[in-house]
Amino acid sequence: MSKIKIQEARVCAVCVATDPRHFVTATVPQVSLEFGGIPGDRHFGLTKRASGRESNYPHGATIFNRRQITAVSLEECRLIAKILSIPLLSPNWLGANLVLEGIFDLTDLPMGCRLLFPSGAGLLCEGRNTPCIHAARAVQAHYPDRPTLAKEFIAAAAGHRGIFCIVERPGILFTEDKVKIVWERSFR
């Protein structure tokens, strides 16, 4: 037996990292999604080169890009900041493309759930984002008086780092959009 679950959230920000050398994103008023992600963003593309995250493939092999969009929640960013005893953890430092509010457990969303937007755009959750050294270094850069913060961030952000998605249906995302999060839950 299964049941459709629907949850709603609000888009607080949409962001882009236009320089492939830099991880931190910049907030913009809207983004156009295409198959492959956000044109111009460092993660745009239907394919990517395998890295240490995809250890089943030779390093550098061409594989499907499951990390087109990174989504985080304000609630989880605030929780990580609280754990770290820092006043602010900006979603931009985490390389976020989509910042949501109103969903405390974004990281726990199951693979295959859909994020549906008023423009008709749709994202498909491909999994839980794990804390990475790029985000840890970005956080550390804002708190130079805490020399072990990057290492602390990796531990504190585990289970709270958001999700990564692919574009299932192109469209436009705007700040302040309402997003409908839909998935099927199975019960025995």
Superfamily (CATH) of domain 2-186:
PK beta-barrel domain-like (2.40.33.20)
Sequence ranges of the domains in the chain: 2-186
**pLDDT for the residue 158:** 95
Work out the pLDDT band at 186, boundaries 50, 70, 90.
low
Instruction: Please state, in angstroms and rounded to a whole number, the distance separating the CA atoms of residues 166 and 133.
Output: 22
| 187 has a pLDDT exceeding 80 | no
pLDDT (tens digit per residue) in 50-79: 888 888 999 999 999 999 999 999 999 999
**pLDDT for the residue 138:** 93
**pLDDT for the residue 28:** 97
Work out the pLDDT band at 19, boundaries 50, 70, 90.
confident
**pLDDT for the residue 4:** 85
pLDDT (tens digit per residue) in 78-118: 999 999 999 999 999 999 999 999 999 999 999 999 999 99
17, 37 contact by CB (below 8 A): no
Question: Taking the CB of residue 67, how many other CB atoms lie within 10 A of it?
Answer: 20
% of the chain exceeding 90 in pLDDT = 85
| 188 has a pLDDT exceeding 60 | no
Question: Taking the CB of residue 54, how many other CB atoms lie within 10 A of it?
Answer: 16
Handedness of CA 89, 92, 97, 98 (dihedral sign): positive
**pLDDT for the residue 3:** 83
Instruction: Please state, in angstroms and rounded to a whole number, the distance separating the CA atoms of residues 98 and 92.
Output: 9
Global pTM reads: 0.93
Nearest to 91 by CA among 180, 9, 32, 14: 14
Handedness of CA 93, 179, 165, 67 (dihedral sign): negative
Structure tokens at 140: 């550390």
77, 91 contact by CB (below 8 A): yes
Mean pLDDT of the chain: 93
Instruction: Please state, in angstroms and rounded to a whole number, the distance separating the CA atoms of residues 150 and 133.
Output: 7
Listed in sequence order, the residues at least 6 apart from 12 whose beta carbon sits closer than 8 Å to its beta carbon are 74, 99, 100, 101, 175
